[in-house]
Structure 1
Amino acid sequence: MTTIRSLIAIATKMKWPMFQLDVNNTFLHGDLDEEIYMSPPPGMELPSNQVLQLKKSLYGLKQASRQWHGKLSSVLKTKGYVRSQNDYSLFSKSMGSSTVHIAIYVDDILVTGDNIYEIDSLKAFLHTTFQIKDLGFLNYFLGIEVLHHSHGTIMTQRKYASDLLKDFLVEDLISTNCPLPPHLQLKVNDGVLLRDPLLYRQLVGKLNYLTHTRPDLAFAVQFLSQFMQTPRIPHWQAALHTLAYVKGTISQGLFFNNSSVFYLQAYYDSDWASCPNTRRSVSGYFVSLGGSPISWKSKKQPTVALSSAEAEYRSMCRVTAELAWLTQLLAEFHVSNFTPVPLKCDSQSAIHIAKNPIFHERTKHIELDCHFVREKLQEGLISLSHTRTANQLADIFTKSFAFPQHKELLRKLGISDHPT
């Protein structure tokens, strides 16, 4: 999804038209590279000692999706498209100063670029080869609504959120103004076991998909995911609180501006030893492209940090790895000169560790992270700078806030309500 958001953000800034295509009977186009046999379907009589050998891919085969992707890749290659080395679902073709990009998710295809003749030629070629539906300008892709505005593009999952409320029969739920109550602490063994744990898992899974256009839900989903194995009544009540927040902000989404300004900016933060069950820290980062949000993450660290500086530094390592990949991906869109990427944090200690080439007792537990970040700092990929906690945008990915501060952080992130 970071690739999709990046492509839409760049297309919006470049004022490229965006089109969507749908392939008919996708998995039936795949070619099989191995011998596969099947039992005869009901109603077909065969001698008891015979089976059927498949010559083409069918729905239900484990190999179906891989074979379809291989078939599509080989077909696009004959048209001069090159598969990205940073995301295998992305294909590009350069023709002098013009370029066309294709993003693929199974049978859903997003096409954009500045050569409308090549795009029309590609549509005709794919229709001849696979039989496709030309759905026109991009407006609904992977359950995400794409709205075109005079000042940019809006991505929202308003319909998905509405269906989510209907699925869990909570349309009469009183809406809340923050995803989780501030300073909420829940333990794994708190409360009575939930009678139907599958219901909790389904809700958290659906909320997780909603985070593709709702960064404000990232921390809440990460928090609720800790209790998937044995959810209890307090955990379910916290999930309902998040659902009530979704109801109150159902039209919220991302806004990609159409300004011609291209620059990468990243924030990262951590909340040291915040998990009461494991005492692990929570990491969060946020990356924007020219003021448009394209990448974010909220995740509990895999090991216990011995100090707040160590927790911050591990967060720095995570966002640095993301930036290393993002700069390569954006270079394939012919947008470059981002480096050094400003990386902002509110921990002076983490900045000093990154700039200090001497290892000592405080950093021996994070030696690999130190090597990686310092290498990228010396290469010029990132530049480190301190920011006040009040201006730390990644805070929203590490903890829950009361409404006034939560709303202010959303405004700074470029996330707002888009009324129908």
Structure 2
Amino acid sequence: MTTVRALIATAAKKQWDIYQLDVNNAFLHGDLHEEVYMDVPPGLVTPHTDVVCRLNKSLYGLKQASRQWYEKLTAALHTRGYVHSLHDYSLFYRKRGTSTVFLGVYVDDILLTSTDIAKINELKRFLDNQFKIKDLGRLHYFLGLEILYKDDGILISQRKFVLDLLKEFKCDHMTPLSSPLDPNVKLKSHEGKAITDPTYYRKLVGKLNFLTNTRLDLAYGVQLLSQYMQDPREPHLHAAFHMLRYLKKDPTLGVFMSSSANFRVQAYCDSDWAACPDSRRSVSGYIVLLGDSPVSWKSKKQETISLSSAEAEYRSLRKVVGELTWLQRLFEELNVPQTGPFSVYCDSQAAIHIARNPVFHERTKHIEVDCHFVRTKLQEGLITLHHIDTHAQLADILTKALTGIKHSALLDKLVSLTSPPT
């Protein structure tokens, strides 16, 4: 989804039209390169009762179906001069002179954008001859994402999915809340009564997880609730319904891809030290913006226990630098102008000093590998590090539960962000 958001953000800034295609019966086009047999379908009369059918083409339900369809599509596109991205194999492109065509594929759904409308129509005709496609016109609805075009950019939301979710779990009549989680409630693994139907909880959290594709304000809460999937308790379910009531406040909230010609990449990273009451692991969070358009974000509990808040901040810093390393290569393929080093904003002076200090001391030995990676990218000129006040840290929304006032204030800053902080 990061690639999808990056592609839409780039198209919005460069004023490219985006189109959507749907492949009819995509999995049936794949050729099988191994022996696969199936029972005789009901209703088919055969002279013998002990025979089976050998498949020459893939069918829906086969483990090989998705792989074979991808190979078939790749081979067809290669004949037209398209190559797949080395950094995301669902992205294809062809660059010829001033003409560039990008193709984003998710199973049988295809995004198509280009600098040349004639090349788009040519590719549509080719794909229709090869696979029989359904031309859905300009992009409006893709993988549950609703696309709304405005004069100054593109709004991506999941309004219909939110309204259906509230109706399914009977929350459409409840009073809305101003924050995704109650900051005064600390959830623990084995606290509270076990719920009678764990599947109900898992289904709810799974659908909330799908919403994080456009709702970065839900990312922290969803990663927290996902930790209790194996043995959900009543407090966990209450927290999930708290999040549903928060969604009721503004179902149309999403991410806005600005059409301004600002291609400056900036990132914010933060951590909450020893946040988990069960394991004492910290939570990392980061957000990456292309100009003022959010393209990548994550909230995740760290893999190991950090011995200090500086270490927790540094692990968060390493995560966002790793993401920026990948995004730099992706942006190069998308022809995004490189406007100098990527600015990374962190509210920990200690983490910034460690990154800039070439000498390791006893206090930094345990994070030496992370130090080397971040410092190498700093010396290569990929990033520049900047200290930022805690109240201006946009990634704070990805690391902890906030009060309604502070949560709304951070969302307003994300919405109104048009220039880097001072």
TM-score bin (small chain): over 0.9
- Decide whether the 8 Å contact of 1:293 with 1:414 is kept in 2: no
Alpha-carbon distance in 1 for matches of 2:365, 2:45 = 70
In the alignment, what sits opposite 2:93?
92
Amino acid at match of 1:325: W
- Decide whether the 8 Å contact of 1:292 with 1:414 is kept in 2: no
Deviation at 1:45, TM superposition (A): 4.0
Residue 406 in structure 1 maps to residue 391 in structure 2 = no
Amino acid at match of 1:192: K
Alpha-carbon distance in 2 for matches of 1:307, 1:3 = 34
| Worse-matched range after superposition: 200-209 or 336-345 | 336-345
Alpha-carbon distance in 1 for matches of 2:416, 2:384 = 26
Amino acid at match of 1:8: I
In the alignment, what sits opposite 2:370?
369
Structure 2: stretches of 5+ with no match in the other structure:
418-422
Alpha-carbon distance in 1 for matches of 2:167, 2:132 = 35
- Match of 2:396, SS state, is helix
CA displacement 1:126-169 (0-9 Å, x = unmatched): 11111111000000000110000011100000001111112212
Amino acid at match of 2:162: A
Alpha-carbon distance in 1 for matches of 2:340, 2:57 = 47
- Match of 2:122, SS state, is helix
In the alignment, what sits opposite 1:206?
207
In the alignment, what sits opposite 2:80?
79
Alpha-carbon distance in 2 for matches of 1:229, 1:365 = 32
| Worse-matched range after superposition: 221-230 or 310-319 | 221-230
In the alignment, what sits opposite 1:29?
29
Query: Are the structure 2 counterparts of residues 18 and 160 from structure 1 closer, same or farther at C-alpha, using a change threshold of 3 Å?
Result: same
Alpha-carbon distance in 2 for matches of 1:42, 1:338 = 63
What is the correspondence of 1:15-414 to structure 2 with a 5 Å cutoff? 15-46=15-46, 47-414=48-415
Q: TM-score, structure 2 length as denominator?
A: 0.97
- Match of 2:254, SS state, is strand
Amino acid at match of 1:208: N
CA displacement 1:337-392 (0-9 Å, x = unmatched): 24411111010000011111112211221221111111111111111110011111
Amino acid at match of 1:260: A
- Decide whether the 8 Å contact of 1:327 with 1:338 is kept in 2: no
Alpha-carbon distance in 2 for matches of 1:160, 1:90 = 26
- Decide whether the 8 Å contact of 2:263 with 2:338 is kept in 1: no
Alpha-carbon distance in 2 for matches of 1:407, 1:95 = 46
- Decide whether the 8 Å contact of 1:263 with 1:290 is kept in 2: yes
Identical counterparts, % of pairs: 57
- Decide whether the 8 Å contact of 2:40 with 2:51 is kept in 1: no
- Match of 1:310, SS state, is helix
- Decide whether the 8 Å contact of 1:254 with 1:415 is kept in 2: no
Alpha-carbon distance in 1 for matches of 2:63, 2:227 = 30
Amino acid at match of 1:312: E
Residue 14 in structure 1 maps to residue 11 in structure 2 = no
In the alignment, what sits opposite 2:4?
4
| Worse-matched range after superposition: 12-21 or 247-256 | 247-256
Alpha-carbon distance in 2 for matches of 1:183, 1:353 = 33
Amino acid at match of 1:343: V
Root-mean-square deviation (CA, aligned residues, Å) is 1.2
CA displacement 1:7-32 (0-9 Å, x = unmatched): 00010010000100000011000111
Amino acid at match of 2:160: K
Deviation at 1:48, TM superposition (A): 4.4
Amino acid at match of 1:151: D
Deviation at 1:44, TM superposition (A): 2.4
Alpha-carbon distance in 1 for matches of 2:11, 2:184 = 40
Alpha-carbon distance in 2 for matches of 1:180, 1:242 = 6
- Match of 1:414, SS state, is helix
| Worse-matched range after superposition: 50-59 or 200-209 | 50-59
Alpha-carbon distance in 2 for matches of 1:169, 1:215 = 24
Deviation at 1:204, TM superposition (A): 0.6
Amino acid at match of 1:294: V
- After TM superposition, the runs of 4+ consecutive aligned structure 1 residues lying more than 3 A away are none
Amino acid at match of 1:79: R
Deviation at 1:408, TM superposition (A): 1.3
Alpha-carbon distance in 1 for matches of 2:49, 2:349 = 75
Alpha-carbon distance in 2 for matches of 1:200, 1:67 = 35
- Match of 2:195, SS state, is coil
- Decide whether the 8 Å contact of 2:272 with 2:399 is kept in 1: yes
Structure 1: stretches of 5+ with no match in the other structure:
none
- Match of 1:221, SS state, is helix
Amino acid at match of 1:4: V
Alpha-carbon distance in 2 for matches of 1:71, 1:289 = 34
- Match of 1:109, SS state, is strand
Deviation at 1:335, TM superposition (A): 1.3
Q: TM-score, structure 1 length as denominator?
A: 0.97
